[in-house]
Amino acid sequence: MTKMLNAGILGASGYTGAELIRLLDQHPHVALRALGAHSNAGQAAQAVFPHLPDDIPMLQKLEDMPLADLDVLFAGLPHGTTGNILPELLQQYPGLRIIDLSADFRLDDPNIYQEAYDAPHPAPEMLGEGIYGLSEIYADSIADARLVACPGCYCTAANLSLIPLLQNKLIQSQDIIIDAKSGTSGAGRAAKTNLLFTEVNQGLNAYSIGKHRHMWEIEQELGKAAGATLKVSFTPHLVPINRGILSTSYVHLAEGKTVNDLHIALQEFYAEAAFVRVLELEQSPKTQNVFGSNNTEIALFPDRIEGRAIILCAIDNLLKGASGQAVQNMNIMFNFPETTGLNRIALYP
């Protein structure tokens, strides 16, 4: 009989926390033992999220959580906060494995963190210890990790699209343009004027133009794939939907390569990937096709400009872009099939 994992969640009152609760409550090898939510401590989880079942643990402060009894802890706290907490937890509880959904351990260089987040890194000595949790790319390293840093949602879509092509020298590493659009849940659950219904509905706007914090993370991982330092042009947009990301990348083909070569390479790279579907050439992905699932759709089109290609990727930002990928990483870490607890067909329509 497979041992049940005792799991806890920090930041359980946010959107990613709610998705983790939903996924872990249905996972056959997980017992959800503790939920941390500082501002809502003492409340039932249903008081914050009425859709949850009655047997979910109460919300607690971190200091009241039974951390010594846990096998795995999911950290869904804001960047800056996580880095102040996790180093001590890793030292105090040597048997605990942590899956961090914040940005604090995704970047390798504290100077880049400072540039991206406009603040010094809270634990620079820990950088490099967290394994970047892009499941399809780093599964071997994730399997043995104590600390996994789950990628940002935009980064997941862009990197899954482009890393195999850069690794195989099929596209040029210069002049990559990434245009991405996300639903409003990507901005979190906190009340913000720019996310009010009347501010978002019937509209579309770009934000953090030329300086979005995920840009540095994308560059780091694409640079590793290319074996060279690179810079990308990345512009995110907010669209009036609850969830979903559609990322569109414009690239130069490597000399002598065709869009068909790129398509074959992606099909081969993801042939055994349970959650990545490479569509037929010139078949467009849709966020509706991955809504509520951990799935990814990737597609390629030839650009009308000779020597260029257009690569599209659709994911659910709260699942493959956050909580679903976190559970996928947990499955890898504890030697469960990657699909365990995640085999959900997308909600449609």
> How far is residue 280's CA from residue 156's CA, in Å, rounded to a whole number?
21
> How far is residue 218's CA from residue 135's CA, in Å, rounded to a whole number?
15
Q: Give pLDDT, residue 274.
A: 97
Q: Which helix (H) or strand (E) holds 333?
A: helix 324-333
Q: Give pLDDT, residue 1.
A: 56
From 150, 153, 155, 313, the catalytic residue: 153
Q: Give pLDDT, residue 215.
A: 97
Q: Give pLDDT, residue 201.
A: 87
Mean pLDDT across the chain, nearest whole number? 95
Q: Give pLDDT, residue 192.
A: 78
Residue spans per domain, the chain: 5-129, 154-318
User: Which letter, b or e, does each residue of 15-28 get, where b requires 16 or more Cβ atoms within 10 Å of its Cβ?
Assistant: bbbbbbbbbbeebe
Q: Give pLDDT, residue 349.
A: 82
* Low-confidence residues in the chain, pLDDT < 50: none
Q: Give pLDDT, residue 42.
A: 87
CB 156 within 8 A of CB 135: no
Task: Classify domain 154-318 at the CATH topology level.
Answer: Dihydrodipicolinate Reductase; domain 2 (3.30.360)
Q: Give pLDDT, residue 127.
A: 87
Handedness of CA 151, 153, 158, 160 (dihedral sign): positive
Are 5-129 and 154-318 in the same CATH fold?
no
How do residues 311-321 score in pLDDT, each as one tens digit? 999 999 999 99
Enter the tokens of residue 256. Answer: 């002598």
* pTM of the full structure: 0.96
Asked if 153 is an active-site residue, the reply is yes
Task: Give me the amino acid identity at 244.
Answer: G
> How far is residue 120's CA from residue 83's CA, in Å, rounded to a whole number?
11
Q: Give pLDDT, residue 305.
A: 96
> How far is residue 315's CA from residue 311's CA, in Å, rounded to a whole number?
14
296-302 and 308-315 beta bridge pairing: antiparallel
Q: Give pLDDT, residue 95.
A: 95
Task: Classify domain 5-129 at the CATH topology level.
Answer: Rossmann fold (3.40.50)
Task: Give me the amino acid identity at 172.
Answer: Q
